[in-house]
């Protein structure tokens, strides 16, 4: 394996691990806050459900942003693909 490929593979692995961790933390934070609010306001399970759904939505938004971060914006073609 060439050193350039090795570094690109490690970079991709780092992005994937970071994204997975961030998504897990977003959902877990929603759950913890929801449980706290449910216990405080005696409204089980409503705040837990709402906050977990917000955590999932946040996780999906982070995944979408991470997947689109390397793409050119506005439909521009990559400058490496010349005709």
> What residue has token string 């897990």?
24
Asked whether residue 43 is domain-assigned, the answer is yes
Does residue 34 lie within any of the structural domains? Answer: yes
Structural domain that includes position 29: 23-67
- pLDDT higher than 70, residue 35: yes
Is-contact 63 23, C-beta < 8 A?
Answer: yes
6 located within any domain: no
Contacts 24+ apart (CB under 8 A), 26-29: 26/55, 26/56, 26/58, 26/59, 26/62, 27/52, 27/55, 27/56, 27/59, 28/55, 29/55
Residue 37: band (very low, low, confident or very high) from pLDDT cuts 50, 70, 90? very high
pLDDT at residue 16 above 80? yes
Residue 74 in any domain: the answer is no
Q: Is residue 72 part of a domain?
A: no
| Tally of domains within the chain | 1
């Amino acid at each position: 394996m060439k050193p350039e490929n090795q570094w690109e593979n490690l970079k991709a692995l780092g992005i994937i691990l970071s994204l997975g961790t961030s998504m897990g933390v977003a959902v877990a934070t929603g759950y913890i806050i929801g449980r706290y609010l449910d216990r405080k306001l005696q409204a089980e399970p409503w705040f837990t459900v709402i906050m977990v759904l917000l955590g999932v939505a946040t996780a999906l938004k982070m995944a979408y942003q991470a997947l689109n971060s390397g793409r050119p914006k506005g439909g521009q073609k990559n400058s490496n693909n010349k005709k």
